[in-house]
Amino acid sequence: MAHIMHKQELIIQDNKPSREEAMKAVEVLLRWAGEDPTREGLLETPSRVVKAYEEFFSGYDKDASAELKKTFEDIKGFDDMVLVKDIDFVSHCEHHLVPILGKAHVAYWPDEKVVGISKLARIVDIFGRRLVSQENMTCNILNCINDTLKPKGVAVYIDANHQCMSTRGVNKTGSSTVTSMFSGIFKKDLEVQRRFLDMIRFQG
């Protein structure tokens, strides 16, 4: 699977258009929307949009698993979950290219290795800064931690607002989408899973 993904990434990089071509594409969309790209207020819009896209989709240039390579093995006596909750993220829907605004809660139960807690937030950012479905983002975060750290289990819970639902289409501004995924002890032991869910809901 990793080999297939690497091959796909190489194909994408080989076919990547130039910055100038990307700016021209923005001009086409502006004209299609009924605008005049040559008017003063829009002269620098193509450049700004391309620059914004570089930030929005910077996750394609990063290897999420590499963030977890530096670990600490001196964890004698600790046998419980490590939870980082309320990780804010901004992503973009792969179907409409509009923002997804949400929070991720990520936990793992170390076996022999622990990782710096900021790394869990970085993993969320890397997968979030790509075109995604929330389901795949949830799965990708879990699989990355599982495959790299080999913990006793991983739990990922994401609650997000999809602007493809709130600003267009059905226009349901108060809706949110929740996805979760569990592995190892979080999947097998319902009491551990329940404790994780209780911990992320506690706001005190």
**Please, what are the domains in the chain?**
2-56 (1.10.286.10), 70-201 (3.30.1130.10)
- Full DSSP string of 72-113: E---TT--S-EEEEEEEEEEEETTT--EEEEEEEEEEE-SS-
> How many whole angstroms separate alpha carbon 202 and alpha carbon 197?
9
Active site residue 6: no
Q: State the pLDDT at residue 6.
A: 46
* pLDDT over 60 (residue 10): no
Active site residue 3: no
Q: State the pLDDT at residue 12.
A: 54
What average pLDDT does this structure show over 184-201?
96
* pLDDT over 80 (residue 149): yes
Q: State the pLDDT at residue 85.
A: 96
Active site residue 139: no
SS (H, E, C) 116-143: CHHHHHHHHHHHHCCEECHHHHHHHHHH
Active site residue 92: no
Tokens describing residue 145: 């931690």
Q: Which of 92, 105, 144, 162 is catalytic?
A: 162
> How many whole angstroms separate alpha carbon 57 and alpha carbon 63?
13
Q: State the pLDDT at residue 97.
A: 87
> Do residues 153 and 184 make contact, with C-beta atoms less than 8 angstroms apart?
yes
Q: What is the pTM of this model?
A: 0.86
User: Which stretch of 3-7, 49-53, 125-129, 152-156 has the lowest confidence by average pLDDT?
Assistant: 3-7
**Average pLDDT of the chain, as a whole number:** 88
Active site residue 193: no
Q: Which of 27, 139, 164, 193 is catalytic?
A: 164
Active site residue 20: no
What pLDDT digit, counting tens, does each position of 64-119 carry?
A: 999 999 988 777 778 899 999 999 999 999 988 899 999 999 999 999 889 999 99
Q: Which of 115, 113, 102 is nearest to 180 (CA)?
A: 102
Active site residue 164: yes
Q: State the pLDDT at residue 196.
A: 97
Q: Which of 27, 35, 96, 139 is catalytic?
A: 96
Q: At what angle do helices 117-128 and 134-149 cross, to 10 degrees?
A: 140
